[in-house]
Amino acid sequence: MPPAARITPETVLRDYFHAKDENRPHLLDQVFTPDARLEVDNRTGAISFPAVTEGREAIADVLVRKFAQTYENIYSFYMGRPTGAAAAAFSCDWLVGMSEKAGRGVRVGCGRYHWSFQAGPPPLANRLVITIAAMQVLPPSRLTAVMAWLRNLDYPWTTGAAVRAGTPDLAPLTPVLHYLGRGGAD
């Protein structure tokens, strides 16, 4: 683990996406406290997660190991960036796109993260609430267009304007664009 002085909320968030998107559960040691709590407010039936997960290892199982058994080509984006090295909490919208390993279908979703960080160094996350507002399922024939769009976004920090500027003209993406354009994503 890097020295506590080099761990900031921004590095925590970046390492979280590297762990989840790249199937590297060991990176969660630099993201969550051992007793961290994950809460998922899932407002869609297109994907499923336990409502509550306790402990870093259990979180790694849910968000990295099991997730990577089902999905690949994962691109996740924060629609905001934390400022300061000593933030107690941070919230922002998110966007994710991925493909299913089995059927090659495409999923594009969005929602909101609410991060809470422990007070002392290092500022690891002791709680994460993930709201899944939308998760759209598209056929495998849309994989090329969706992946080209996502690859052109700045990773892992982007803006609603950048997302909307390059979005392929696909009707199933409308709920995602509507959510991200509601005023909190820029």
- Residue 23's domain is classified under what CATH number? 3.10.450.50
Selection from 94, 132, 117, 155 nearest residue 31 by Cα: 117
Of all residues in the chain, the percent with pLDDT exceeding 70 is 94
With cut-offs at 50, 70 and 90, classify the pLDDT of residue 95: very high
pLDDT of residue 186: 45
171 within some domain: yes
Is residue 84 over pLDDT 90?
A: no
Neighbouring-strand partners of residue 106: 99, 138
**E-state strands within 43-105:** 52-54, 71-78, 89-100
Of all residues in the chain, the percent with pLDDT exceeding 90 is 87
* In the block, residue with structure tokens 């997960």: 53
Tally the domains of the chain.
1
102 within some domain: yes
State which residues form the domain around 29. Answer: 4-180
**Cα–Cα distance measured from residue 145 to residue 124, given in angstroms and rounded to the nearest whole number:** 36
155 within some domain: yes
* In the block, residue with structure tokens 């922002």: 92
pLDDT of residue 29: 97
186 within some domain: no
Determine the residue type at 130: I
Who contacts 79 (Cβ-Cβ below 8 Å, separation ≥6)? Answer: 92, 93, 94, 95, 158, 159, 160, 163, 180, 184, 185, 186
pLDDT of residue 3: 52
With cut-offs at 50, 70 and 90, classify the pLDDT of residue 185: very low
